[in-house]
């Protein structure tokens, strides 16, 4: 989904039908809040969503990945450097190119709220900041252990639904998002979005208050549960989505009915202004980049100096076409300076 325009200096021609000025870029914030080997499934959940989101086009620079523990390089992992979300090990979701922005003990409630509200200390690298603007659609996916009104971070602290609602309100006040799709896969997940009061948020929880979200299956080789039910079926749906799919968000909202998930999927759509039947799944899971062909109608810029400079021993200034110099020899640098 992109915007392609032919732009001349004096007049504007629109040659595409879908120029929607509301949504101009996509971000994803994926958070796994639990550590320890027996919470393997949370990391597998997270990485599966990460993989789908990358496959559908969101670049690493626009994904904030928060993983509270390292399963791939865990001493107990029989297949190091790989994380599977299926006992049959179809896909290694850890992949070959992964960029974890907040790792291990950096995943705390404070860092998460600071990330959302933008109040990070000066000197934080850009890869750890959420640099969204008023046209960003953000996908926020959280997984871990939760309860009625809170989500547990790292077995030591919790984030409450009030905090989360306040954080989103601060984001809204600063126009740091256009729309948010908030997915939470924990026990009693629906309690996390009960207190939201900012507009343009569509929230999905894998279970209602009072229900537990269940995991899907155990991998006997590893000895732990390997993926949660909601994420397993959500992934099945996402695997059928490609970059130019026309699948709608309403279909995604119906993924994992009670017979599959055992818990009931909770949805909050009163704050969301559009009809999910008219929203494509790729508007949150894929990436849009406004692009226009640059064609200056007139030669407005006409540089008078005609310059070609070749450094090193061929320093001459010439007019006209580029100059060729003798070939350079590429060779490895002398890395191992052993004296002769």
288-327 binders of other proteins (CB under 8 A): 288-311, 321-327
Q: Shortest Cβ distance from residue 209 to other proteins (Å)?
A: 17
Sequence-distant (6+) residues with CB within 8 A of 285 are: 52, 53, 56, 58, 139, 238, 241
Binding footprint of other proteins, residue count (CB under 8 A): 80
**For other proteins, which is the closer residue by CB, 103 or 119?**
119
Is 256 one of the catalytic residues? no
CA dihedral 111, 112, 118, 123 (to 10 degrees): 30
**For other proteins, which is the closer residue by CB, 40 or 150?**
150
Determine which residue in the list 91, 98, 113, 218 makes contact with other proteins, applying CB under 8 A: 113
103 contacts other proteins (rule: CB under 8 A):
no
Q: Please give the DSSP secondary-structure letter assigned to residue 259.
A: H
Sequence-distant (6+) residues with CB within 8 A of 305 are: none
Burial of 86 (C-beta count, 10 Å sphere; 0-12/13-18/19+): middle
Distances (CA, A) of 215 to 67, 87, 227, 232: 19, 13, 6, 9
**For other proteins, which is the closer residue by CB, 81 or 323?**
323
CA atoms of 101 and 65, how far apart (whole Å): 5
CA atoms of 323 and 316, how far apart (whole Å): 10
4 contacts other proteins (rule: CB under 8 A):
yes
Determine which residue in the list 118, 264, 274, 280 makes contact with other proteins, applying CB under 8 A: 118
Contact string (CB under 8 A) for other proteins, positions 127-146, x = contact: x-----xxx-----------
18 contacts other proteins (rule: CB under 8 A):
no
CA atoms of 226 and 222, how far apart (whole Å): 9
* Footprint on residues 176-205 left by other proteins (CB under 8 A): none
Q: Please give the DSSP secondary-structure letter assigned to residue 229.
A: H
Q: Please give the DSSP secondary-structure letter assigned to residue 275.
A: -
Q: Which of 42, 145, 216, 256 is catalytic?
A: 145
**For other proteins, which is the closer residue by CB, 75 or 293?**
293
Piece in contact with other proteins (CB under 8 A), picked from 32-40, 70-78, 87-95, 170-178: 170-178
Q: Which of 187, 216, 256, 261 is catalytic?
A: 187
* Footprint on residues 39-58 left by other proteins (CB under 8 A): 57
* Footprint on residues 216-275 left by other proteins (CB under 8 A): none
Determine which residue in the list 48, 52, 117, 263 makes contact with other proteins, applying CB under 8 A: 117
21 contacts other proteins (rule: CB under 8 A):
yes
Distances (CA, A) of 260 to 110, 185, 246, 255, 263: 35, 15, 25, 9, 8
Using alpha carbons only, how large is the chain's radius of gyration in Å? Answer: 25
Determine which residue in the list 74, 170, 194, 269 makes contact with other proteins, applying CB under 8 A: 170
Q: How many CB atoms lie within 10 A of CB 115?
A: 21
Q: Shortest Cβ distance from residue 313 to other proteins (Å)?
A: 13
Q: Which residues are catalytic?
A: 145, 187
């Amino acid at each position: 989904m992109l915007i392609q325009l032919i732009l001349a200096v004096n007049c504007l021609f629109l040659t595409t039908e879908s120029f929607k000025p509301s949504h101009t870029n996509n971000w994803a914030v994926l958070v796994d809040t639990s550590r320890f080997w027996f919470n393997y499934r949370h990391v597998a959940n997270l990485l599966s969503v990460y993989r789908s989101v990358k496959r559908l086009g969101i670049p690493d620079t626009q994904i904030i990945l928060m993983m509270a523990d390292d399963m791939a390089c865990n001493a107990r992992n029989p297949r190091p450097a790989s994380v599977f979300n299926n006992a049959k090990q179809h896909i290694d979701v850890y992949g070959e190119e992964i960029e974890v922005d907040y790792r291990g003990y950096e995943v705390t409630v404070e860092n998460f709220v600071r990330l959302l509200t933008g109040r990070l200390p000066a000197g934080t690298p850009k890869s750890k900041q959420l640099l969204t603007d008023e046209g960003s659609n953000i996908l926020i996916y959280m997984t871990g252990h939760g309860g009625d009104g809170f989500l547990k971070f790292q077995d030591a602290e919790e984030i409450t639904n009030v905090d989360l609602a306040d954080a989103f309100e601060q984001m809204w006040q600063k126009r740091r998002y256009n729309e948010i799709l908030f997915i939470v896969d924990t026990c009693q997940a629906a309690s996390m979005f009960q207190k939201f009061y900012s507009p343009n948020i569509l929230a999905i929880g894998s279970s209602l208050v009072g229900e537990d979200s269940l995991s899907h299956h155990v991998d006997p080789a590893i000895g732990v549960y390997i993926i949660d039910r909601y994420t397993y079926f959500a992934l099945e749906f996402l695997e059928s989505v490609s970059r130019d799919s026309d699948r709608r968000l309403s279909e995604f909202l119906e993924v994992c009915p009670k017979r599959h998930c055992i818990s009931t999927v909770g949805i909050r759509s009163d704050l969301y202004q559009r009809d999910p039947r008219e929203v494509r799944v790729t508007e949150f899971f894929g990436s849009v980049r406004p692009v226009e062909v640059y064609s200056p109608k007139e030669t407005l810029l006409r540089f008078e100096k005609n310059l070609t400079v070749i450094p090193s021993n061929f320093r001459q200034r010439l007019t006209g076409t580029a100059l060729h110099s003798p070939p350079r020899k590429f060779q490895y640098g002398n890395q191992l300076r052993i004296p002769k």
